[in-house]
Amino acid sequence: MALLAGDGLLTEAFRLMAGTSGVDPRSLLRVIHLVGSAAGYQGMVGGQVVDIQSEGKPVDRALVDFIHSHKTGALIHASVTSGAILGQGTEEQVKAISFYGEKIGLAFQIADDILDVEGDSKTMGKGVGGDASKKKITFPAAVGLQKAKEIQSRLVEDAVGALKGFDEKADPLRSLAVYIIERKK
């Protein structure tokens, strides 16, 4: 039943997208294609497979980069980029937002890893330190805590930098990028 619920919900997401009215049909197809790439074997599913296969193995930067950008990053990237496409952004704007989404997607997951090491379990509302004890593939495990924080800050800088062509309408995206680093839960 759990498996069927998953299949039902996954299918329903695509059905709902395809039934969206009031948007340009070509843009909508592009978004469905993008979400399919982000959710499927080229994205989240692929990242999850590599994550499972890698548990307990030595962690390096390339591996953790791959897992994080596919497992979590791809869907965040697709969400942000979909907005740019459906909002009829120019190709240049879509490209800039896409770059932004890629960077914050990865930054979000690194922040999650760091919170698992440093976070307060009361604030988080869940246990911390679980990743290390489960030998999960994390950025702190791959490159150390300090370096993980540097990479994270750099990603957020790059993300905000990609928005330089946008006016104050993009401020929520700028705040979101900064919030990723500053969040405590």
The answer to the question of residue 15 lying near a second copy (CB under 8 A) is yes
Local structure of 42: helix, strand or coil: coil
Contact track, a second copy, 117-156, x by CB under 8 A: ----------------------------------------
Cα angle 153, 156, 159; round to 5: 150
- Nearer of residues 30 and 95 to a second copy, judged by Cβ: 30
The answer to the question of residue 62 lying near a second copy (CB under 8 A) is no
Cβ-in-10-Å burial (0-12, 13-18, 19+) of 83 comes to middle
- Nearer of residues 37 and 93 to a second copy, judged by Cβ: 37
Query: Is 53:135 a contact under the CB 8 Å cutoff?
Result: no
Query: Is 93:106 a contact under the CB 8 Å cutoff?
Result: no
Binding residues vs a second copy (CB under 8 A): 1, 3-4, 6-8, 10-12, 14-19, 25-26, 28-30, 32-33, 36-37, 39-41, 45-46, 48-49, 52
